[in-house]
Structure 1
Amino acid sequence: MAESRAAKRFSNTDQETNGLAEELGRGSFGIVYKGTIVINDSENILAVKKLDRVTEDSENEFKAEVDIIGRTHHKNLIRLIGFCNEGQHRLLAYEYMPNGTLAAALFVGAKPSWKQRTQMATGVAKGLLYLHEECTTQIIHCDIKPQNILLDDRYNARISDFGLAKLLRKNQSKTLTNIRGTKGYVAPEWFRSSQVTAKVDVYSFGVLLLEIITCRRSVDQNMEFTEEESPILVDWVWDCLAGGKVEIIVGNEAEALADRAALERLVKVGLWCVQEDVSVRPMMRTACLMMEGVIDVPVPPCPYNQISIKSQP
């Protein structure tokens, strides 16, 4: 897919962005506001992130990363409209998504339908595939979680928040970096080695996929659990699948059980993605094909099994 034109450079002094009064959310790198901008005599609503933790980066590095991310163009990615990089001012202006975060959709109020949830999961998977394999420069997001997935006016999933993203050259498959990400979604290899690959995103996606299926948080200490349940989502889902009780995973949801084969397929994909052994964890292209039913999905081993097995996706 062709990549879009570079993001527009804004000036902090020309008032191109204004009205940053309504706070939309807070992240590890700054606060996101709802704002407006006039482009070609047309007023546009934007989500504007004011960064407060990039001062250690050089100006050239910041501009280089913004330029690369600004050129990405995919229906399941938030588009960077523009940026400001003047003195201590760091602003990133993104498309505004009216339906909020995937976290709110899954964990607050009535849960989305099974059809909506499978579409959201597929959208995130395709967005990650684009970042990993279809960009001029490979991008490892490093912080895939429901708070960083936004929903557009049609509830399509859009990956956002590239504040932690690590950019790789085409001939580079690993990178040295400090631990990045959010507890509950961080791949185990972050803690064993400073070398990571795109499979750290695959792990986080696996956790996210299981959250989408169950509408349960990856780690939830606030819920009341029976003796057969666990506050650790991956553990509980694995136990249910191994025990042949996949219907429990979706709370006997009729719509999900109407296509039990598809449900079991997605559950198995999620568990393959969260394998502790990086070598048996699939790449995003394989994960997408498994989700679509293009290739068979074997029953995964226990995610924490370190023994290499022959049956690999």
Structure 2
Amino acid sequence: MSILQQLGHLRIPLEDVKQATNNFSAENFIGYGGYGLVYRGELLHSDGLTMIAAKRVDPRFNHAEYHFLSEIEVLLSYKHANIVSLIGFCDEYDEKILVQGLVTHGSLDQYLGSTNLTWVKRLQICLGAARGLSYLHNGWEGQSVVHGVVKSRSILLDNTWQPKIGGLGLCMIGRVRPNIFVKDGFHTPGYVDPTYLKNGVITTESDVYSFGVVLFEVLCGREAFDRDMNKPFLGPLARTHYEKGTLSQIVDPFLTKQMNHESLKDFSAIAYQCLEKLGTARPTMIEIVQKLEKILRLQQDFERALAFQQVS
């Protein structure tokens, strides 16, 4: 019996998904998933009217059906406040559709240069995302998940700006600290682990490298790779500036005015460590969570002290 046959309680009729998304109209289109197009909608569900994101499998994508089944498996087994939630799926005729809760503020990449996200809020988002990845890495019943395509676009933000790890369709499930040979699907420019490019092996350390790039994106207010602007990859650029002591040249000036010096120093240090060329030299996601918790406390204490001085 296939996994879909075992999950009859999660099955959503195709007609209901069509009605929810206005028959997959252009107005309801919100982006590209790992293996298909994604549409927003309003679905009448057991919990009432629910905002959804419906990811429609496109068979032209390599191994699309496999990734669809893999994402269902992961979302069923790995439930966490910082991971997107599964509502159900559709499997009728030639249609396969994954239905998730809609994360209303979109993805982190949309806000990297925004003045609406303060330094504290950015730290909170990074910490939440790190907690979600740490949960995936550190296993459930002896297994762990390698996300494989960690980037600011796969970190989604709900209506309270809580981050949710999405884009799990290309993930790999294996033993804790797996070594998995991967042939394709993990070539996101600007985020990919150099070790993977060299030997084709992707591990939890590869996710850590990609997350380090995301940390620098948050710090510098720009994406890792911008084809339109023809800028260099942010990861190697940030490493060079960090080593030369000139990181201030690429940090977002809007954030510099808000930062406690210690929080900036510690944040840039952990981001740099994530980009170590040797995977085993990189911190684990557990260690990153601990560091970010400390950095957030430093910044919050700084801001409370500053506010007290202004009142006094």
Determine if the alignment matches structure 1 residue 123 to structure 2 residue 124.
Answer: no
Give the superposition deviation at 1:115: 1.0
**What is the identity, as a one-letter code, of the residue corresponding to 1:215?**
G
Q: 1:279 to 1:267 in 2, by over 3 A?
A: same
Q: 1:169 to 1:221 in 2, by over 3 A?
A: closer
Q: 1:37 to 1:197 in 2, by over 3 A?
A: same
- Picking from 183, 200, 204, the partner of 1:198 is 204
Report matched runs for 1:31-110 at 5 Å: 31-40=37-46, 42-53=48-59, 63=69, 65-107=71-113, 109-110=114-115
Q: Identify which range, 34-43 or 12-21, moves more after superposition.
A: 12-21
Q: 1:238 to 1:192 in 2, by over 3 A?
A: closer
Give the superposition deviation at 1:111: 5.2
Q: Identify which range, 210-219 or 257-266, moves more after superposition.
A: 257-266
Find the aligned partners of 1:167 and 1:214 in 2 and give their Cα distance.
Answer: 32
Q: Deviations over 1:234-265 (max 9, x none)?
A: 23323333333443332444666541111111
Larger RCO (CA within 8 A; separation ≥ 6): 2
Aligned to 2:117: 112
**What is the identity, as a one-letter code, of the residue corresponding to 1:275?**
E
Q: Deviations over 1:139-194 (max 9, x none)?
A: 11111111111110111111111111111145x72222223331111111222223
Is the contact between residue 273 and residue 282 of structure 2 (CA under 8 Å) also seen in structure 1?
yes
Is the contact between residue 83 and residue 91 of structure 1 (CA under 8 Å) also seen in structure 2?
yes
Structure 1 residue matching 2:112: 3-state secondary structure: helix
Determine if the alignment matches structure 1 residue 161 to structure 2 residue 162.
Answer: no
Give the superposition deviation at 1:46: 0.4
Give the superposition deviation at 1:74: 1.1
**What is the identity, as a one-letter code, of the residue corresponding to 1:120?**
I
Find the aligned partners of 1:75 and 1:217 in 2 and give their Cα distance.
Answer: 25
Find the aligned partners of 1:13 and 1:25 in 2 and give their Cα distance.
Answer: 20
Report matched runs for 1:91-240 at 5 Å: 91-107=97-113, 109-110=114-115, 112-136=117-141, 137-169=143-175, 173-181=178-186, 182-220=188-226, 222-223=228-229, 231-240=232-241
Give the superposition deviation at 1:221: 5.5
Is the contact between residue 30 and residue 39 of structure 2 (CA under 8 Å) also seen in structure 1?
yes
State the TM-score, normalizing by the size of structure 1. Answer: 0.79
Give the root-mean-square deviation of aligned CA atoms: 2.9
Aligned to 2:304: none
Is the contact between residue 56 and residue 97 of structure 2 (CA under 8 Å) also seen in structure 1?
yes
Structure 1 residue matching 2:53: 3-state secondary structure: strand
Q: 1:249 to 1:74 in 2, by over 3 A?
A: same
Find the aligned partners of 1:60 and 1:27 in 2 and give their Cα distance.
Answer: 14
Find the aligned partners of 1:257 and 1:249 in 2 and give their Cα distance.
Answer: 16
Structure 1 residue matching 2:19: 3-state secondary structure: strand
Structure 2 residue matching 1:18: 3-state secondary structure: helix
Find the aligned partners of 1:120 and 1:209 in 2 and give their Cα distance.
Answer: 10
Aligned to 1:306: none
Q: 1:279 to 1:56 in 2, by over 3 A?
A: closer
Give the superposition deviation at 1:48: 0.6
Identical counterparts, % of pairs: 26
Q: 1:54 to 1:214 in 2, by over 3 A?
A: same
Structure 2 residue matching 1:33: 3-state secondary structure: strand
Give the superposition deviation at 1:118: 0.9
Aligned to 1:299: none
**What is the identity, as a one-letter code, of the residue corresponding to 1:43?**
L
In structure 2, stretches of 5+ residues that fail to align are 1-6, 296-312
Find the aligned partners of 1:222 and 1:62 in 2 and give their Cα distance.
Answer: 31
